[in-house]
Amino acid sequence: MENRAVNAVDVIRTKRDGGQLSDAQIDWVVDGYTRGAVADEQMAALAMAILLRGMNTRETARWTRAMVASGERLDLSSVPRPTVDKHSTGGVGDKITLPLAPLVAACGAAVPQLSGRGLGHTGGTLDKLESIPGWRATLSREEFLRQLREVGAVVCAAGDELAPADRKLYALRDVTGTVESIPLIASSVMSKKIAEGTGALVLDVKVGSGAFMKGVTDARKLARTMVELGRAHQVTTVALLTDMSAPLGRAVGNAVEVAEAVEVLAGGGPPDVVELTLALAREMLAAAGLPEADPAAALVDGRAMDVWRAMIRAQGGDPDAPLPKAPETELVRAPMDGYVSTVDAYAVGVAAWRLGAGRARKEDPVSPSAGVILHRRPGDRVRAQDVLLELRTEDPTRFPAALAVAEGAVTVTSVPPEPRPLIMEKIA
């Protein structure tokens, strides 16, 4: 029933003038927007007011609760293992979900990972997995729960019934310049994860040029807000702040990142990808009540790889099928002898996107084989003309635009850089 005491203009004015929204105002406006009773232009005005004026802890918690209540909450009580999920705020080369979900499942937890597609310079987990022949992202509720019980890990698209208010508001924020609001980011992430029904959640909050949060102060504030929201909804939540000034690993794209994830599951892979996968796995297992489990052993003895293969097969994919490979390549070479000082994650992400690995609009197709391979990482010694980056695409007309950003992405200096910690701090 419509609450006559609340109307959209009053809600907008309250926040515009720096006031606090009441629980009744928040519940009404989120529900009204989901149903179409509150117009897009009214919600756009409110989102801008929230961006400029902020929301306090109570308002943000209530906003999140209202977003969860806009749809269904998954019931995972039929899953016999403790459930734990991971969310990353997005980075360049961030393929961590791919080895992490089967690894944590191999150690005794169940991982219900509802993922998204990429937009802009950061690739989506579903886009990466769809480069595996036959793999499908959409599962029914019954298939999702069965796979969680039988395999222990599932990575798939979120259904329309989970937090529909978030899907509608996310699209609106994208086109109205209101994406950057920390309360709206935090409630967007947490409403989906709470609706997913997981018992515990570990957040990987990226900081640096390739991340949404460029500075530590904002990243810390976002992490704390999300941890508080999880706690308010009885979801055990911890966050790690991790460095995203350089891309993760050596592969940026879709199929190339899947190949690198499989290397990690086979006991190899780039040291930074292994380090972050194990750190997040340990946090997830501790949050799920399994602190004695040893994820490093599960990588070495093949248990994690077994779960990966079962997970891919369960969703129609062939784990043994060759991955798509781009026919066209261009190389970026070192201009001088010296050391790789920096590899700008944002520039590499934009180059991969321009090669076809990402999308500018939700409906755009992505190329499974396009991407960038890092032949050198920060701290590596190089000679003049050594290969720094390898650009791959199906369409050679994409090279000029990609090279325009890629050629300035790697800095070579005469002295080696100071090493940077990958994991910066933990917030719990």
Catalytic residue list: 87, 166, 173, 188, 192
Q: What single-letter DSSP state applies at residue 95?
A: -
From the centroid of its chain, how far is CA 428?
19
Beta-bridge mates of residue 392: 329, 371
Phi-psi region of 384 (alpha: psi -120 to 50; beta: other; left: phi over 0): beta
Q: How far apart are CA 278 and CA 99, in angstroms?
A: 10
The secondary structure element, H or E, covering residue 343 is: strand 338-343
From the centroid of its chain, how far is CA 244?
12
CA distances from 13 to 16, 21, 165, 319, 406 (A): 5, 10, 21, 55, 46
Q: CA 26, 32, 36, 40 torsion: positive or negative?
A: negative
Q: How far apart are CA 328 and CA 326, in angstroms?
A: 6
Report the half-sphere exposure of 102 (CA within 13 A, side-chain side): 23
Q: How far apart are CA 62 and CA 49, in angstroms?
A: 17
Beta-bridge mates of residue 156: 114
Q: CA 60, 66, 67, 68 torsion: positive or negative?
A: positive
Residue 11's CB: how many other CB atoms inside 10 A? 25
Q: Residue 379: which of 207, 246, 216 has the closest Cα?
A: 246
